[in-house]
Amino acid sequence: MNSYVASVIEYVKQRHANEPEFVQTVEEVLSSISPVIDAHPEYEKADLLKRMVEPERMFTFRVVWCDDAGQWHTNIGYRCQFNGAIGPYKGGLRFQKNVYPGIIKFLGFEQTFKNSLTGLPIGGGKGGSDFDPAGKSEAEIMRFCQSFMTALYRYIGPDIDVPAGDMGVGGREIGYLFGQYRRLKGVWENGVLTGKGFSYGGSLTRPEATGYGAMYYLQEVLKHEGEDIKGKTIACAGFGNVTWGICKKANHLGAKVVTLSGPDGYIYDPDGVSSSQEKIDYLVTMRNSGRNRVQDYADKFGVEFHPGEKPWGVKVDVIMPSAMQNDVHMEHAKQIAANGIKYYIEVANMPTTNDALQFLREQPGMIVAPSKAVNAGGVGVSALEMSQNSERLVWTAEEVDAQLRKMMENIHRVSVEAAEEYGLGYDLVSGANIAGFKKVAEAMMEQGCF
């Protein structure tokens, strides 16, 4: 590895020892781009990487809210404006009780390269709160969102920073956040948030975009291997918005999603979760119930439920970890390899531990695709939502879908080309990191050192 790259990784390890997720993602990205640094000594001269691993700005804020029983609560809000070299900061808000600076920073760093890969002018940002939405009433969620936006609204804007949803933040939360922004500022700036409802500036296909995009990307990979998506079996995780989108598209394309997971275990449905509209709709019912249990699916449709287990031991054609970070560990990776699975397509942000990812990438014949490419369709369609908002136009679902498909083909193609340029062969992980990095690096260099 390039010695400058190694020194920056070491620096991040020391400085962020208490933020393992951030260290993990920096290590993953920087080791991939090592050959680019070899080829561009001017990057080391400008100490570009040290600047890239430091957010431009990251702040916390107090979020105070009152529950239905009249009890007051204080949570911490975060926004990390990681890199604005290629466009306004853009990235979701995560409301989950495990949120702390290391999670927000890792997601903001990933987002910078992901957003670059979309080919659209969006910088990287992320935010959220350690607020736990589980079991909260509608009114509590609304009060929390209003308080959150009251603290954040001065620091965002359509040309500054455009938040969106992530775990725990869906259409409902975006609505409350947007309403409060409008109330405070007294302006209709619908480009300030994405993932909005269709009645007030949301884009058609945004809810499906991450899952659809992942399936379009998978199609590109299969095309490269001379295979067809029809009839392929897929193991997914979670039962949230992304997995729902994958199931919907799998249904259109004749592929079969056979597993879902939750904190309680996983279900195996050999006929396919994606096989009927009723089953696909039930994912939304489970999500809205707030019970956070996948066993409900097994009870309703009479399929196997495996308590306390993850679905990575199931024999399928394609693995798509689509739930959360660090979901696939070394023991699972070994199982996946032993099952002879060829396609390992990451969907959630950093779903694989670094050692497991390394192991999978070394398996002969196995194709590994990285989440920052595979899930980029979500934020990509957010950028299309921003375009529609600034043009004061509404595109049809077909127009958005055609753009999304083109975007995913393009992300796959530029990743392949970037890896080939550095003699790495069909290496989608390195290719995505290199392609995402190149544009941000170039923009930063051209804008001078700051």
Interface with ligand GLU (CB under 6 A): 90-92, 164, 166, 194, 378-379, 382
Q: Which residue has the tokens 């809810």?
A: 207
Q: Is 114 a catalytic residue?
A: no
Cα end-to-end distance, the chain, whole Å: 27
Closer residue to ligand GLU in complex, CB, 165/265: 165
> Which residue, 278, 237, 272, is CA-closest to 257?
272
In angstroms, give the least distance from the CB of 166 to ligand GLU.
4
Decide if 378 contacts 213 (C-beta within 8 A).
yes
The residue to which tokens 């039962």 are assigned: 239
Q: Which residues contact 96 (CB under 8 A, 6 or more apart)?
A: 128, 130, 132, 133, 167, 168
Which residue number, 104 or 341, has a Cβ lying nearer to ligand GLU?
Answer: 104
Which of these, 110, 113, 142, 141, lies nearest to 126 by C-alpha position?
Answer: 110
Closest separation between CB of residue 337 and ligand GLU, Å?
A: 28
Structure tokens given for 284: 């939304």
- Tally of CA atoms within 13 A in the half-sphere of 440 that contains its CB: 31
Task: Give the Cα separation of 138 and 126 in Å (integer).
Answer: 24
- Alpha-carbon distances of 447 from 86, 115, 352, 443, rounded to whole Å: 10, 19, 34, 6
Measured at CB, which residue is nearest to ligand GLU?
92
For ligand GLU, give the closer residue by CB, 55 or 378: 378
Q: How far is the CB of 118 from ligand GLU (least distance, A)?
A: 9
Least Å from the CB of residue 169 to ligand GLU: 8
Least CB distance to ligand GLU at residue 392 (A): 20
Choose the catalytic residue: 90, 105, 114, 126. Answer: 126
Which residues have a catalytic role annotated? Answer: 126
